[in-house]
Structure 1
Amino acid sequence: MPQDSAYIGVGEPVSRVTDALEKKGPMLEFAAMSQGAFTQVVSMAQRGMNPASNVDCARFALAAWKETRERQNLFLAEEFPALQFLACDAVMSRRKRRIVLLVHNVSSKKRWLALSKLGLQRRVDHVLCLSPHSQKVLVEHYGIPREKVSVIYSRVDTAYFQPQPETPLKRQVCAAGAVNRDYGTLIEAATGLDADVKIAADTIWRYSVANKGETQSAMLPPNVEMRSWGSYANLRQLYAESRVVVVPLARPIISGITVALEGMAMGKPVILTRNPYVEGFIEDGVTGFHVEPGNPVALRERLQWLLDHPQEAEAMGRRAREKAERDFSVERYVERILAPFS
């Protein structure tokens, strides 16, 4: 990484970074890259600011621009506050700098309007995205040259999330996450299934809008439990004692990948709702299964098959773990982020 560089983004709270460094929680890229990869790190989370607030994003973007205006190499880690930062840069600076931008949700009209129609993409030297389909959208709909777009996929701490052979397996299926989840389809598929289904319906992103599954709790079948699991340690234990990890998605956007990769790193087969943005993470029939959206019958069939074929399911889980270590470790992810600066 060249000198005179700055990392600007949402980041993580100090407590979470501390936990990661002390191995009390998973290491994500912010903690890894804030330990020396960049000359300067400017983070909303570490300033107690809310990325869901337009006011906070604007305030932070202006402050971050002022604090980093002498830096020549910039990594903008999230669309918001990155878009506001780019607007500040367009208005207040004529000096060309090397800017790398990570875009998560390329299907968003707000991102498209800001980057394509308002021309903020002209301030950016290289764009990073999370899947081949995202790259296609950025090229064909945003008009960004293909050579300026790289796919970096996503990441998981394969040391924190790893198989725990000492943990007794239950006849149990688990799911996790709250953003863009189709838990209605999973609950329908689980009704009458000869296994327990545990749904950790919460998220580490406090500004996300959770699926309101708690309002359905009174209507859940007796084999389904939906609640918060409270901590990474508890979530890791839930993965460890389950035979299958399910990620049922609602809309076709890039989401659910964190949970899918955590399940893979734990050595579990993963069932993931098919959508073009998440292809490339699960190898259908090899490390898990894709199922069509909103199809409880197909989901139930896959769940039943994995429960009834434990040896095949364990082999899938082993291959999933191998793929997570090879392709999706935090170290590999950081390498892909830093590559445009070399």
Structure 2
Amino acid sequence: MPQDSAFIAVGEPARHVSGALEKKVPRGEFVEMSQGSFTQVLSMAQQGLDPASNVDCARFALTAWRATRRRQNILLGEEFPGIQFLAWEALLGRRKRRIVLLVHNVASKKRLLALAKVGLGRRVDHFLCLSEHSRRVLVEEYGIARERITVIYSRVDTAYFQPQPAQPVLHRVCAAGAVNRDYGTLIAAATGLDAEVKIAADTAWRYSVAGKEEKGAQALPPNVEMRSWGNYLNLRQLYAESRVVVVPLARPIISGITVVLEGMAMGKPVILTRNPYVEGFIEDGVTGLLVDPGNPAQLRERIQWVLAHPAEAEAMGQRAREKAVRDFSVERYVERILSPFAGDAPPPHT
């Protein structure tokens, strides 16, 4: 990473950073990159600001712009507050400098309006996104040249999330997450299924996807439990005890990747709803299984196959673990994030 650089992001609270360094919670890219990659790091979370608040984002972006106005290299870790930072840069900036922006949700009309229609994207030298389909959208809808975009995929702490050989595996199906989940389809598929179905309806990212989310509010069948699992230790145990991890998605946007990769890192087969933004993370029939959206009969058939073929499912989970370690570790993710500053890193295997 060149000198004279700043990393501006939502970040993580100081307690989570210390917990990750002590290996009590999973480590993410913010922890990795805040340990010396940059001359300066600014985080909304560590200032106690709410990324769901437009006022907080704008206030933080102005503070960050003032604090980094002499820095030559800027990495904006999220589109918000990154877009507000670009607006201040357009209003107040007086000299050319290199700005790299990570855009998570390219399907958002709000992002398209700010970056393409208003033109704030012209202030960005290089864009980062999370999938090949996201890159296509940036090229075709945002009008960004392909060579200005790097696909960085996503990451998982493969040391924290790893197989637990001492943990007995139960006749159990699990799911996790709350953003953009189609738990109605999963519950319909699970009704009458000869297996426990546990849904950990927790998320740290509710602010990142607008719109009403599926809460699975219908009455639950007796074999289904849906609640918060409380913390990462409990979630890791839930993965370890389960035969398969299901990630049912409601809309075709970038979501569910964190749970997909956690399940893969735990050595579990993952059943994922087909979605052009996320399909590249699962190779159907090799590291997991894909199902059509809103199809409980097909989802039920895939779950039953996994439960009825434990040896094949275990081999699938082993291949998933190998891919997670090889392509989606935090270290590989950070390499790809920093590649626009220091030369291109090789992409994951396909």
Alpha-carbon distance in 1 for matches of 2:228, 2:204: 11
Preserved contact between residue 201 and residue 211 of structure 1 (Cα < 8 Å): no
Aligned to 1:247: 247
Is 1:290 paired with 2:290? yes
Match of 1:41 in 2: 41
For 1:54 and 1:18, locate their aligned partners in 2 and report how far apart those are by CA, in whole Å: 28
The match for 1:139 is 139
SS in structure 2 at match of 1:142: coil
**Correspondence for 2:171:** 171
Give, in angstroms, the shift of residue 211 of structure 1: 4.0
Q: Does structure 2 retain, via aligned residues, the 8 Å contact 1:190–1:300?
A: yes
Question: Matched residues in 1 for 2:339 and 2:217: separation?
Answer: 45
> What is the Cα deviation at residue 151 of structure 1?
0.4
Distance in 2 between residues matched to 1:128 and 1:114, nearest whole Å: 16
CA distance in 2, matches of 1:3, 1:202: 39
How many residue pairs were aligned? 340
For 2:67 and 2:206, the matched residues in 1 are separated by: 26
Q: Secondary structure at the match of 2:277?
A: helix
Which structure 2 segments of 5+ residues have no match?
A: 343-350
Q: Kindly provide the CA deviation profile for residues 209-235 of structure 1, in whole angstroms up to 9, marking residues without a partner as x.
A: 78463743xx10000000000000000
Contact 1:99 1:123 in 2 (8 A): yes
**SS of alignment partner, residue 276 of structure 1:** coil
Cα drift, residue 204 of structure 1 = 2.1
| 1:317-336 paired onto structure 2 within 5 Å | 317-336=317-336
- Aligned-pair CA distance for 1:205: 3.1
Where does residue 186 of structure 1 map in the other structure? 186
Question: 1:212 and 1:144, CA in 2 relative to 1: closer, same or farther beyond 3 A?
Answer: closer
SS state of the match for residue 127, structure 2?
Answer: strand
Partner of 1:18: 18
Aligned-partner SS, 1:237: helix
Aligned-partner Cα distance in 1 for 2:316–2:58: 46
How big is the shift at 1:207? 3.7
Q: Distance in 1 between matches of 2:13 and 2:314?
A: 36
Cα distance between partner residues in 2 of 1:206 and 1:9: 17
**CA offset at residue 81 of structure 1?**
0.3
Mapping for residues 84-233 of structure 1, pairs under 5 Å: 84-205=84-205, 207=207, 211=213, 213=215, 215-216=217-218, 219-233=219-233
Q: Distance in 2 between matches of 1:207 and 1:280?
A: 25
Residue identity in the other structure for 2:150: S
Contiguous gaps of at least 5 residues in structure 1? none
Trace 1:54-65 onto structure 2 (pairs within 5 A).
54-65=54-65
Aligned amino acid, residue 31 of structure 2: A
Residues 227-272 of structure 1: CA deviation (Å, up to 9, x unaligned): 0000000000000000000000000000000000000000000000
Q: Provide the C-alpha distance between the structure 1 equivalents of 2:100 and 2:46, rounded to a whole number of angstroms.
A: 21
Structure 1 residue 11 displacement after superposition: 0.4
Deviation at 1:279, TM superposition (A): 1.8
Task: State the alpha-carbon separation in 2 of the partners of residues 44 and 215 from structure 1.
Answer: 33
% identical aligned pairs: 77
**TM-score, L = length of structure 1:** 0.98
Contact 2:173 2:197 in 1 (8 A): yes
SS of alignment partner, residue 7 of structure 1? strand
Letter in 1 for 2:64: A
User: CA shift at 1:65, angstroms?
Assistant: 0.3
Q: Give the match for residue 77 of structure 1.
A: 77
Which residue is 1:303 aligned to?
303
The equivalent residue for 1:6 is 6
Q: Provide, for residues 106-128 of structure 1, a one-character-per-residue CA deviation record: whole Å limited to 9, x for no partner.
A: 00000000000111111101000
Name the amino acid aligned to 2:162. Answer: Q
